[in-house]
Amino acid sequence: MASSSSSSRSYSEFSVFLSFTGETRTSFSDHLYTSLQEAGVLTFRDKEGIREGNDISDESKQAIEGSEISIVVFSKNYAQSICCLDELVKMVECKQKLGQKILPIFYHVTPSEVRKHTGEFGIALDQYIEQFGEETVNVWKAALTTVADLNGWHIMEDG
């Protein structure tokens, strides 16, 4: 999930789109965001991480399209967020169509869990089949697999 620190900014001005779930908002993702900002990297993230409904916002879509790179913080509950899954699909679409970069960070999950949809990822995706249909879930699975196959960082410890 993601949004700006300045609502007057054009989305094409962002260098990085930061996608993460609320579970890392006050820890890893917040530290990463702060570090990027202090380094002068214009970063888009959601204002508070809480959005009504399940749809990705137009603001997030525009920010993804206008960013040079997307950083995805995969954590245990990432697949439990439909918004995050939809953001991920949009990132993959922009990578394929526009050549944008995606940098995955595996925070307390392994790349294999994300790639093979096991553990919490598999549980969440299986639960979505009845609600959203197999076709939609397969699109999310393909995006997870694509991004998990990219070079990224694997973090298993705090600090």
Domains located in the chain, CATH noted:
11-155 (3.40.50.10140)
Look at the block and give the residue holding tokens 């525009």.
62
Model pLDDT for residues 86-110, shown as the tens digit of each residue: 999 999 999 999 999 999 999 999 9
Q: Is the dihedral of CA 1, 97, 136, 109 positive or negative?
A: negative
Model pLDDT for residues 5-59, shown as the tens digit of each residue: 434 444 456 788 888 876 655 577 777 888 888 898 888 887 654 444 456 778 8
- The answer to whether residue 87 is catalytic is yes
Question: How are beta strands 153-155 and 69-74 bridged, if at all?
Answer: unpaired
Amino acid at 15: S
Tell me what the mean pLDDT of segment 59-77 comes to: 91
131 against 25, higher pLDDT: 131
The active-site residue out of 13, 48, 52, 87 is 87
SS3 content of the chain, % helix, strand, coil (to 5): 50, 15, 35
Tell me what the mean pLDDT of segment 69-76 comes to: 94
Asked if pLDDT for residue 153 goes beyond 80, the answer is yes
Residues in the chain, how many? 159
63 against 156, higher pLDDT: 63
* CA angle in degrees (0–180, nearest 5) for 26-101-5: 40
What's the pLDDT at 6? 39
Asked if pLDDT for residue 117 goes beyond 70, the answer is yes
| Cα 155 from Cα 130, distance rounded (Å) | 33
